[in-house]
Amino acid sequence: MDFRFEPVGALDGRAPEAVASQIVLAIRAGAYRAGEYLPPARELAQRFGVSQGTVSGAIKVLGTYGLVKPARGNQGGIRVTRDDIPADLLQLLSQRSDDWRAHAYTELAQARRAIELPLAVLAAENASPPDLAHMVACLDEMTVAHENNDMDAWITSDLRFHYSLGHAARSSVLARYQHEVLIELALIVDIAEDFQNSGLVVRIHHELLAAVRTGDGVAVRDVMEQLIELTECP
């Protein structure tokens, strides 16, 4: 899957964290698996619109958590060493205050209605056979993870499904904001203490894929609303 990194711009000294956040999202979305390599630092700097020093700072942060490892020599590059993202890394990148969770679920649901609903409808209009095949693969992974009670794998496959849905929409503007929504979604789900609805979520995702496959925008909205309502209730 080709992952579209977005320029981070001037962020008052937080550019390394912004770069790291997008790399984390790319890994969670399945664009880079453990053992694979990120683009070279020079290319990353160009795509993010930052200096190579800023990219190096981001890689240093991710390396501290064992997520990536720079390699030297002719076969050098930035190798992804794990694709399960520690919750404390997500919290570090989000820079949240201690009481952020009091409002996080409601705010995330509002953002998902504004961004993911129209994305899903566009996916129903524009999804290609390869897009649908990738979403099916994500759902297969979700189902197996649910049956094995493997929460890390379940969360990863869930995020990959939503990134695939956004990719199928063919809207670079909406997808740019979906990046931020998916980071929030990953953070909330990773630190939730008691999540009992994985089976229900898998079923709703299957219904969503069926609606996308038939191009039924009304059904897509209805099913997405069911998922969003679950987000509002931790």
The pLDDT value given to residue 101: 58
Q: How far is 34 from 202, CA to CA, in rounded Å?
A: 25
Q: What is the pLDDT of residues 104-158, one digit of tens each?
A: 778 888 999 999 999 999 999 999 999 999 999 999 999 998 899 887 788 778 8
The pLDDT value given to residue 30: 76
Tokens 């949240």 appear where? 96
The pLDDT value given to residue 39: 92
The pLDDT value given to residue 193: 44
Name the nearest CA neighbour of 138 among 206, 210, 215, 222.
206
Name the nearest CA neighbour of 68 among 46, 94, 35, 93.
35
The pLDDT value given to residue 29: 72
Tokens 């399960």 appear where? 84
DSSP element (H, E) containing 95: none
Question: Residues of the chain whose pLDDT is less than 50?
Answer: 191, 193-194
Q: Which SS3 state, helix, strand or coil, does residue 38 take?
A: strand
Q: Which SS3 state, helix, strand or coil, does residue 71 take?
A: strand
Name the nearest CA neighbour of 163 among 21, 71, 36, 29.
29
Task: Report if pTM > 0.75.
Answer: no
The pLDDT value given to residue 67: 94
The pLDDT value given to residue 45: 92
Strand partners, 77: 71
Q: How far is 49 from 208, CA to CA, in rounded Å?
A: 36
Q: How far is 107 from 169, CA to CA, in rounded Å?
A: 23
Tokens 């619109």 appear where? 49
The pLDDT value given to residue 113: 94
Note whether 66 and 81 are within 8 A (CB).
yes
The pLDDT value given to residue 31: 82
Q: How far is 167 from 1, CA to CA, in rounded Å?
A: 9
User: Of how many residues is the chain composed?
Assistant: 234
